[in-house]
């Protein structure tokens, strides 16, 4: 991921990967919605290492936001104006497997969609700051030089560059 920040990778691809990773990291795993979004996003032009790492980090923080997701999902699912829409989509075969009628799934999905644009902007700004100010300073640091000498890090870096 650090190589992607410093390479010729489009900043938009990195920012989209970050934003999409937040959306998927928040949604509970093991339902059709998560799987469909993962497959759809994975075939987009994004930086996959950033996407994968962001899913993991966002999934670690998601339990801290469970009460918010549950409240938001409950509000969305009990909103009277949306009830006919939910009835219509839940009558479609296989839509029930998305578990969109679960307050946690709906709340985390909506929260992820709300946070998509702010996460994209934060990702773009971070890549710009990284490339302009931080990359050279970190590359010259003693910690980076020592880390590059570790064989496992060298192998992981070469694997990541191939992806």
Residue 30, by phi and psi: left (phi above 0), alpha (psi -120 to 50) or beta? left
76-90 pLDDT per residue, tens: 999 999 989 988 988
98-118 pLDDT per residue, tens: 998 899 999 999 999 999 999
Distance CA 144, CA 91 (A): 55
Give this prediction's pTM. Answer: 0.80
């Amino acid at each position: 991921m650090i190589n992607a920040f410093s390479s010729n990778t489009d900043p938009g691809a990195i920012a989209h990967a970050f934003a999409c990773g937040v959306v998927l990291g928040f949604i509970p795993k093991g339902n059709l919605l998560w799987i469909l979004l993962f497959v759809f996003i994975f075939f987009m032009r994004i930086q996959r290492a950033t996407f994968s790492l962001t899913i993991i980090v966002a999934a670690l923080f998601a339990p801290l936001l469970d009460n918010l997701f549950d409240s938001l999902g409950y509000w969305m699912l009990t909103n009277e104006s949306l009830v006919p829409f939910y009835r219509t989509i839940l009558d479609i075969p296989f839509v029930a497997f998305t578990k969109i009628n679960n307050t946690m799934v709906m709340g985390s999905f909506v929260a992820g969609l709300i946070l998509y644009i702010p996460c994209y902007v934060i990702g773009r700004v971070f890549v710009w700051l990284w490339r302009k100010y931080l990359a050279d300073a970190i590359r010259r640091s003693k910690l980076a030089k020592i880390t590059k000498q570790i064989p496992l890090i060298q192998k992981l870096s070469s694997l990541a560059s191939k992806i």
